[in-house]
Structure 1
Amino acid sequence: MEMPAVITASGLTKRYGSLEVVKGIDFTVTSGQCFGLLGPNGAGKSTTMRMIMGLSDASGGTLNVFGEPVKTMSRATKARIGLVPQETNLDPDITVLENLEAFGRYFALPKAVIAERVPKLLDFMQLTDKQKSPVNALSGGMKRRLIVARALIADPEMVILDEPTTGLDPQARVLIWKQLLDLKKQGRTLLLTTHYMDEAQRLCDQIVVIDDGRILDQGTPQELIDRHVKGHVFEVQKPHLAASPPDRWDHEDIGDSVLYFVHEAPEFIADLPDEAAYMHRQANLEDVFLRLTGRRLREN
């Protein structure tokens, strides 16, 4: 059964004066999936996210959330969306518990509903034993978990996650991943931006890669890997493959070595000279991202 669309964008553009930063992109986010919007700094993904959240008006095209144009989205529809911002913007002057209660009042939730939901959210994000602690006493991972809990206070159908695990240690990241997967199992729709490709590969059902305001490709993580980097990656130190022509294999020169992307690892290994030094690993989404967007450092 085809799932209903939660977000639909068609010909979506955004201009600042003569500068066009989003250039006619199209995508659909369906209910219950985790949808990843990936791109390097300055690619246009943050601008796209701001338009989805209603913080910036589109210059052209159409953008609907839950079937309503974002520009005229009602307060009731906005309440169906939870937001995990990139910045940590908790109130530092009150406790963990009070942060959740205050946000519940922001959504005009009845006191009884707040009293019921807050303990469940604290338990869900493993913060029950910190509920009386001031925010400034929390670790970075605890603060991010509290922000996720806060985003869920109104029981949203869709949660927008803007780099939810940036700066966290591996243990905190894995815990948040587990809770996000649980949210997906509950049927919630997740819209994710992240610079961690392993995070996107683990969580996302569909991914759009955007750069220079345009969509470069879209698909499941495995579809993108199969399409752009095959199944295996060999990093061969130069000089390399003296017995074979360079164009025999799909490859990318990265300076001191060459990356080869192959489907059949044994056949490629048989083609290597005996003295060749190489590393072999499974292809992943980071390989896809770098092939599509390049290796040039982006400063903003």
Structure 2
Amino acid sequence: MTTDCGRLFVVGTPIGNLSDLTLRAEEVLKEVRVVVCEDTRRTRKLLSQLGAKARLISCFEQKEELCAKDVVNMLLEGVDCAYCSDAGTPNISDPGRRLIEAVYKANIPIIPVPGVSAVTAILSCSPFKGDRFFFAGFLPEKQGPRQEFLRGIKEVECPIVFFEAPHRVKRALRDVMEIIGDRSIVMGRELTKIHEELVFDRVSGLIKRFEQIEPRGEFTFCMEGAKAGAKSEDSETIQEIEALLDLIKHGKYGTRELATLISRISGIKKSTIYNLAVKKG
């Protein structure tokens, strides 16, 4: 590590309830000379409530790379800095990556100050086994990329946590229903805030819910994973099975064609299936 330099404290801040700020985070924000943040307006309110006098530096995502150079220079001069995103834990579907990378490259100490995260909050209130999970962040905004992404995670066998904006919730849930299926799911709305709401239902139930109620607020979802060894019965898989049955029925198939289709349906490597077919003659 570079000697006589400052330290970068990566600080988790509340996602709604100020009382969730840890004592250690409060101490750090009061002691550092500089707080680098995503939005100075949001962080200024937090520091004001704490009585902290640190200088604020704006480092929103679009200028993070440029800002990182200035922060590294301050750290090299021996100034301790803290970094906060608007809410929650930096770099978890939030800015921070470029700044942290630049500080590492300068061989400057980085100190995590853990705090609130919507990810762990929703997991702690889910009925699913939480020894491992898949964090999907925000789903892609457009339907095509979103459906492609969902196809890629439909076989994940652990709980899947994702965020969604209120104006996309209904479309996202319909895509989840079509691609992944009607699984059990926990919806967290406005977590830790005054209008906090937790609902345990199936995907179809949430779709019906939002036919009656317009989604408002910030949403976090925790959905059960695929059953071990199960293959989702989506329309694409059904079509592949139908194609395979058609080839067998009419005798219009070769070893390579069958190996390709069976591989897509089973998930087993095509070469493995082909070699097995050749051995069996």
Query: Which has the greater radius of gyration?
Result: 2
TM-score, with normalisation over the residues of structure 2? Answer: 0.30
Higher relative contact order (CA 8 A, sep 6+): 1
**The structure with more strand, counted as a fraction of residues:** 1
**The structure with more helix, counted as a fraction of residues:** 2
TM-score, with normalisation over the residues of structure 1? Answer: 0.28
